Structure formats: structure tokens, C-alpha cells
Amino acid sequence: MIVAAVYFVVAVGAAVMSGKNLDRHLQGPRLRAAWAEGLTAEARCVSLRTEEVQSPEGGPLTHTHPTLEFRTADGHTVSFEERQSRLTPALGDSVTVYYGAENPKDATTRAPSFGMRHARTLITGAGSFFALVSAVIIALVP
């Protein structure tokens, strides 16, 4: 029984840490801040930057990062490079951006989604559930 309890505590701790790390890796805090106030604007693609990287298999991959420019609700012009979206507009194209009034440079073209808003909670909850099930099995096995 003690082994199961220790296992449960360690596994829940690992689930919490995994949830935090995944959320940080996916830039969850930045995206949630951009979505929080519900502010949107139409941005125009003013330039494209191409980046060559290596795929996990060793082959070349090309990523294109657009620089977008938009006007905030209070009239300031903001320019930022979008790195998190799979969206690749052509030069001059308009796209919708989501931004927070406090830090409009952290804008994103990614639309709010349930998964990104709650990624940390979902991963932590799923890991904790499996930790509980495993701990009960460990406790019941003679």
C-alpha cells in the first residue's frame, strides 16, 4: 500500500511537470494572453523570412515566417513575426490577428481553441487519472 501511495505522489508530480512543460513549449501563456481580451485586427503581410532546418529524419525542411503589421484599437501600428502558425500568407495578404492591449507585439494568427486554452489542465488531469488507476492496481496486486 505504501509503494502505491509513493508511486501515486511521484506520478502526479510528473504529470504536473509534463503539463507545465508542454504548455510552455506550445507557448500557451503567450497565446492565452493574446486571446484573453478578445481584441482582433486585420494585419497585412509585409515580408516573409525563410528558414532552413533539419527534419528529425535528417532531411531539409523549409519554414516561412511572415512579418505582419496591424493597427491596434488605440491607433498604434504594430509589426511582429508570426512563428507559431501554419498559416503562410503571401506578401500583401490580410489575415486576422489576436492581441492583448498590454503587449500587442505578442499577437498571433492562431485562433483560440479549447485544446490550447486548456492544454496544461488536460495533460495534468490525464496523467493524474492514469497515476490513480496505476496506484490502485499496484495496491490490489498481492
User: Torsion over CA of 128, 113, 24 and 47, rounded to 10 degrees?
Assistant: 160
d(CA 126, CA 116): 15
Residue 61's pLDDT band (cuts 50, 70, 90): confident
Please tell me the number of Cα atoms within 13 Å of 113 on its side-chain side.
10
The reported pLDDT for the residue numbered 55 is 83
Query: Which pLDDT tens digit goes with each residue over 78-128?
Result: 999 987 777 788 899 999 999 999 899 999 998 888 877 888 899 899 999
The reported pLDDT for the residue numbered 32 is 86
d(CA 139, CA 32): 40
The reported pLDDT for the residue numbered 33 is 86
Mean pLDDT of the 133-140 span:
92
Count of other CB atoms within 10 angstroms of residue 108: 23
The reported pLDDT for the residue numbered 40 is 94
> What total of structural domains would you count in the chain?
1
Query: Which pLDDT tens digit goes with each residue over 2-42?
Result: 888 999 999 999 999 998 888 887 778 888 888 988 899 99
Asked whether the beta carbons of 80 and 105 are under 8 A apart, the reply is yes
Joined together, the cell numbers standing for residue 25 give: 513549449
| Residues spanned by the domain of 71 | 2-140
